[in-house]
Amino acid sequence: MYRDQPYIQKPQNEDVTIWRYLDLTKFLSLIDRRALYFCRADKLDDPFEGSYPRANVVLRPEWYKEIPYDKVKIGLTQFLKIQRKWTVINCWHMNECESAAMWRLYLKGDEGVAVRSTFKRLAESFRNYTENDVYIGIVRYIDYNSEFVSERFPITAFFTKRKSFEHERELRALIHRIPTNEALKSGDHLYMLDPTLDLCDHGLCISVELEVLVEKIFVSPSAPGWFADLVRAVTRKYDLGKDVIQSSLSEDPVF
């Protein structure tokens, strides 16, 4: 179920348009399983996922001055590295219209689709999923050499990326679950974590209410007509009563 969190920034307009660009295989998985795929953080392309800026390291002796800092440094660093295995992420692109760049970035060929939704729809689509809290927020893009990120909530860093990724305009959904073992139950969890404990091997499929999530489905601008017909047939087969539209980027110019 979606959980609001004050340390995670959400859109001011809950009806902001979001997009998820998928190849046909991933689209079929979405509608067949009625589930969104969340990738484990340490399996994503960006090696900085879940890390903090250099400014945080400089400020930590002051922030944690009530605790022997040598112990904090070792335990906190270990925790921050390992929690990447316990965090899974599902990514969306915020934009009122389609993005030609996103079509090119996320699709290797012509045969792809984009699911259009909104922040509100995404949040409400998890209302029957009760196994874990689902956090949804805007990714902030900062200078990792000069800016810092709050450490008051353990997953804040997962909603922060380097400025070189600003083109993504990302909204992400995230699940964070710490596995339990005797070391964690002992209360000394920062210093006795078992790095072999994983939330999952690579990612998790999280059930959603597909009719709530999906607003419309767009077919790649370069996809042939038969592919659009195939996507329409598949949505009918799975009783997903949503419009399937050929991308407007394929229209001819007017002179």
5-37 pLDDT tens trace: 999 999 999 999 999 999 999 999 999 999 999
Can you tell me the distance from the alpha carbon of 158 to that of 9, in angstroms, rounded to the nearest whole number? 12
**52-79: b (≥16 Cβ within 10 Å) or e:** bbebbeeebeeeeeeeeeeebeebbeeb
Enumerate the β-bridge partners of residue 30: none
- The structural domains of the chain, with segments of one domain joined by +, span 17-250
Nearest Cα to Cα of residue 113 among 218, 15, 26: 218
Contact indicator for 11, 140 with CB cutoff of 8 Å: no
188-227 pLDDT tens trace: 444 445 555 566 778 999 999 999 999 999 999 989 999 9
Mean pLDDT is highest, among 57-66, 188-197, 234-243, for: 234-243
- 10-14, 31-35, 176-180, 238-242: range with lowest mean pLDDT: 176-180
What sign results for the dihedral spanned by CA atoms 115, 121, 123, 129?
negative
pTM to 2 decimal places: 0.89
Q: Which amino acid is at 252?
A: D
